Amino acid sequence: MLEQYDLGNLMVLDIETVPQYATHAEVPEHFQELWAYKTRLQRNDATPEEFYERAGIWAEFGKIVCISVGIFLNGKKPALRVKSFAGHDEKELLAAFSKMLSSQPPSVILCAHNGKEFDFPYICRRLLINGVPFPPHLQIAGKKPWEINHLDTMELWKFGDYKNYTSLNLLTAIFNIPTSKDDIDGSQVAHVYYTENNLPRICEYCQKDVIATAQLIRRYRGEELIEEECITIVG
C-alpha cells in the first residue's frame, strides 16, 4: 500500500491544542453561553465548567500551541527530519508555519493521523480566525476530493469502513512501532500547558506523534522502520 507515493513528497504533521483560557471562569460571559450551547450534547452530566478542560478539541474555543512536521530523507539509510513550531502566541506560530509550508513545492502531500477530521480543518480554522494567509497546500475550497493532496493514516486503515475509529496508539502497538504515549497523552496537554507551564514537554510529545505516524507510513508500505539514529530533531 502507498507504493505509488514518493516519500520525499510527503510532509507528516501533528498539532497539539489547548483551551484558549486556563479556566472556564476566565472565558468571556458571552462565550461561556456559546460554550454551554455548543457542548450540550457531549457533556452528559458534566457542567459546562467541568467540561471546559476539553475545550481544546474545538477550534472555536481552543488554540494551537504546537505544530510538528516531519519530512522523509533519501540517503544510504531511510531518514526523517522533524521540526516544530511552538509558542504561546498562536498567530506568530501559525504565521511561521504558513510561511514554511508556502515555500514548499506544490507536489508536497500533507499527512496526519485523523488529519482530515481534526488537524487539517483545525489549522485552517485557526488560520482564518487569526487572519494568517493560507498556504496553497491548505487551499481546499472548490477543489474536488481527488485534487486535495492530503493523506490520513487513520482513513487508510478504515479501508472504506466508516464506522471504524482506530487510534494511533493502537496502530503503533499492532505494528510494533515505538509509541509517543510513554509520557503524556492528549487529555493531559492542557494541564501540562497551563498548570506545569511546560511547553517543551508538549512539543516533544507532538514530535513523537509525527515520528510514529511516519513509521506507520513505512509499515503501510511494507518497509522497515527508520532507525532511531536516522531521526533528527531540528530547530
Residue 54 has pLDDT above 90, yes or no: yes
Residue 193 is predicted with a pLDDT of 96
Burial letters for 139-156: b for 16+ Cβ neighbours within 10 Å, e otherwise?
A: ebeeeeeeebbbbbbbbe
Residue 142 is predicted with a pLDDT of 83
Q: Please provide residue 196's backbone torsions phi and psi, each rounded to the nearest 5 degrees.
A: -90, -15
Residue 43 has pLDDT above 80, yes or no: yes
The answer, as to whether pTM is greater than 0.85, is yes
Ramachandran class of 216: left when φ > 0, alpha when ψ lies in -120 to 50, beta otherwise = alpha
Beta bridge pairs of residue 73: 79
Residue 3: which of 218, 225, 172, 149 has the closest Cα? Answer: 218
pLDDT band at 181 (very low <50, low <70, confident <90, very high): low
What is the average pLDDT value for the chain, to the nearest integer?
93
* pLDDT one-digit tens code per residue, 209-223: 999 999 999 999 999
Give the integer Cα–Cα distance in Å for 124 and 67: 13
Residue 180 is predicted with a pLDDT of 53
Task: Give me the sheet containing 79-86, strands edge to edge.
Answer: 150-152, 109-112, 10-19, 62-73, 79-86, 231-234
Structural domains in the chain? 7-20+61-234 (3.30.420.10)
Angle formed at CA 2 by CA 73 and CA 135, multiple of 5 degrees: 60
Residue 122 has pLDDT above 60, yes or no: yes
Residue 148 is predicted with a pLDDT of 86
* pLDDT one-digit tens code per residue, 55-94: 999 999 999 999 999 999 988 899 999 999 999 999 999 9
- CB of 127 closer than 8 Å to CB of 139: no
